[in-house]
């Protein structure tokens, strides 16, 4: 469970920044070079690379260097950590609201 919590924290920290969410959103459309990705954000390339490294460290993307071009690819399986957590939360809240509904609608 602690391992799962650490993985979840790592992914949420990586997704907490709007630039990194934008990169993930863009990579959802397909692989892209760092240069193409960086062009969409008002910052220097070294600053943008910090975001790429954070996403890569979290396992959300992988990069491959071919010559002078570094290409980023989204790791969709890693997003399953967030999806699983959200499914758990959805289940908990649905059970709670179902109990509340029964409480409110049952006659005494």
Residue 31 structure tokens: 């692989």
Instruction: Find the Cα–Cα–Cα–Cα dihedral 57, 30, 23, 86, rounded to 10°.
Output: -70
Domain map (residue ranges) of the chain: 2-105
Q: What is the mean pLDDT of the chain?
A: 89
Distance CA 94, CA 70 (A): 44
Least confident of 11-25, 60-74, 94-108: 94-108
CATH number for region 2-105: 1.10.10.10
Regarding predicted confidence, which is higher, 36 or 4? 36
- 59-99 residue pLDDT tens: 999 999 999 999 999 999 999 888 888 888 787 787 777 67
pLDDT score at 37: 97
What predicted TM-score, i.e. pTM, was given to this entire model?
0.78
User: What integer is the mean pLDDT of 23-52?
Assistant: 96
């Amino acid at each position: 469970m602690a391992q799962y919590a650490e993985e979840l924290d790592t992914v949420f920290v990586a997704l907490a920044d709007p630039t990194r969410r934008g990169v993930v959103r863009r990579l959802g459309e397909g692989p892209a070079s760092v240069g193409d990705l960086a062009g969409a954000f008002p910052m220097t390339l070294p600053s943008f690379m910090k975001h790429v490294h954070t996403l890569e460290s979290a396992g959300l993307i992988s990069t491959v260097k071919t010559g002078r071009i570094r290409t980023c690819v989204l790791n969709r399986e890693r997003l399953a950590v967030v999806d699983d957590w959200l499914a758990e939360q959805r289940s908990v809240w649905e059970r709670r609201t179902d109990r509340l509904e029964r409480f409110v609608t049952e006659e005494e």
